[in-house]
Amino acid sequence: MQHPLQPRARSQAPSPLSSIAALWWGVAFSTLVTGLIWLLGERLERVPLLPDQGAAWYYWQLPDPTLLTRLSAWVPYLLHNLAIWYLIYLAQKQRPAYTAGLHPFNVWALAINGLFGVLHVLQTHLFYDGLAQDVSIFSSQGSVIVLLVLVLIMENRRRGMFWGKPAPLSRQVVDFVRRYHGYFFAWAVIYTFWFHPAVATAGHLLGFFYTYLLMLQGSLFFTRAHLNRYWTFSLEFLVLLHGTIVAVLQGNGIWPMFAFGFAGILVITQMHGLGLKNWAKWAILALYCAGVTYVYSDRGWAKVNEVLRIPIIDYVLVFLLAGLISLGLWIARRLRPTRAAG
């Protein structure tokens, strides 16, 4: 009997366009659309906004939203999300082989994400508001955090969790995440994409470019580009750049927490999936330690605990989420005989 996670070949031939070529075209498209947001950004600076009200307040939202402005974000968001979920469902039913080319559902996914990627820019300039008008800012941030933690779980067997050594996570848990992660990842990315209006602040531009790349990765499922370790590492590395740059632009002085926190995860876990020689790993670790020493010699060693906060949170969440998934699978197994008897 074939393992449920093992793909099987289908008679339908993939597209002659290679998935790597599609990846590069997708990066170019993401760059162009981000550039479009930047070019049109000055027009949105005239939109009146309420004063900032603290960390839990999202600044870029209309003071007086209407039903139409709300629907302008929620309707396309739902259509976008449901369309990608449907394609994932169809692909998993087929269980195709991972190929160098594109499957028909990849072409559809690229087209849908591209269409809604441009549509959101138009929607912003017509109605401005995103989903942020009706949901908490922490829901967007939380969805991305969980996505990053699930990547750590999913890659545990391939690259390990701590300096190349796998964490003691259940194989059933890892297999479950690997099989169904597409649904959560699609929701987290698309939800975050429609949460923000397409305004042209430096933080938004970086965020939209990164979100476009994540949607591109999500469009290439069941292709070899989707599994390319250098590409997937680049997506994880961009979290470090984005988090650090946004923190610097905010001017609140906590950028080292993001820079060294995400870099710590890179050193502990992420770089071990690249096939680096041991000397290269030790060199990266030495650069990290030198950076921490240089910054905190001036910043004050009493604050050096900042570099541990993000890694501790992420690794605690790894075991917490793995435990919750394991509990859910155990409950499902307990209920299965009851359903069968019924």
Please check the confidence at residue 7 and state whether its pLDDT lies above 80.
no
For residue 23, what are its two tokens?
Answer: 């990846």
For residue 134, the tally of other CB atoms under 10 A from its CB is 13
What is the rounded (10 degree) CA torsion for 262, 267, 269, 275? Answer: 130
Could you report the per-residue pLDDT of 259-269, keeping only the tens digit for each? 999 999 999 99
pLDDT over 80 at 4, yes or no? no
Contact indicator for 203, 249 with CB cutoff of 8 Å: yes
- Of residues 203, 180, 181, 196, the one with CA closest to residue 77: 196
| β-pair partners for 102 | 15
Judge residue 88's burial from the number of C-beta atoms within 10 Å of its C-beta, 0-12 exposed, 13-18 middle, 19 or more buried: buried
- Strands 101-102 and 15-18 come out as antiparallel
Own/partner contacts of 35-40, CB < 8 Å, gap of 24 or more, are: 36/118, 36/121, 37/121, 37/198, 37/199, 37/200, 37/204, 37/205, 37/208, 38/200, 38/205, 40/121, 40/125, 40/200
- Rounded to an integer, the average pLDDT of 182-209 is 95
pTM above 0.85, yes or no: yes
How confident is the model over 9-22, as pLDDT tens digits? 443 556 667 999 99
Rounded Cα distance between 288 and 280, Å, is 12
Predicted local distance difference test score (pLDDT) of residue 11 = 39
pLDDT at 250: 82
- Per-residue pLDDT at 52: 83
Residue 111: pLDDT over 60: yes
Bridge partners of 165, per DSSP, are 162
**Could you give the CA distance from residue 216 to residue 144 in angstroms, rounded to a whole number?**
16
pLDDT value at residue 14: 62
Calculate mean pLDDT across residues 107-128. 97
For 76-109, give the DSSP string.
HHHHHHHHHHHHHHHHHHH-PPPBSEE-HHHHHH
Residue 13 is predicted with a pLDDT of: 58
> Could you tell me the pLDDT band of residue 151, with boundaries at 50, 70 and 90?
very high
Backbone φ, ψ for residue 62 (5° rounding): -70, 140
- Tell me the average pLDDT across 147-153: 96
Query: What's the pLDDT at 56?
Result: 82
* Calpha distance 242→83 (Å, rounded): 28
pLDDT at res. 10: 47
Domain ranges of the chain: 19-44+65-335
Residue 114 has pLDDT above 70, yes or no: yes
Whether the pLDDT of residue 340 is over 60: the answer is no
Take residue 290 and report the two structure tokens written for it. Answer: 């030198």
What is the rounded average pLDDT for all residues in the chain? Answer: 91
Model pLDDT, residue 279: 96
Other residues' Cβ atoms within 10 Å of the Cβ of residue 178: 16
Instruction: Tell whether the model's pLDDT for residue 178 goes beyond 80.
Output: yes
Asked if residue 338 has pLDDT above 70, the reply is: no
Mean pLDDT of the 112-129 span: 97
Q: Give residue 71's pLDDT band: very low, low, confident or very high (50, 70, 90).
A: very high
Q: How confident is the model at residue 251 (pLDDT cuts 50, 70, 90)?
A: confident
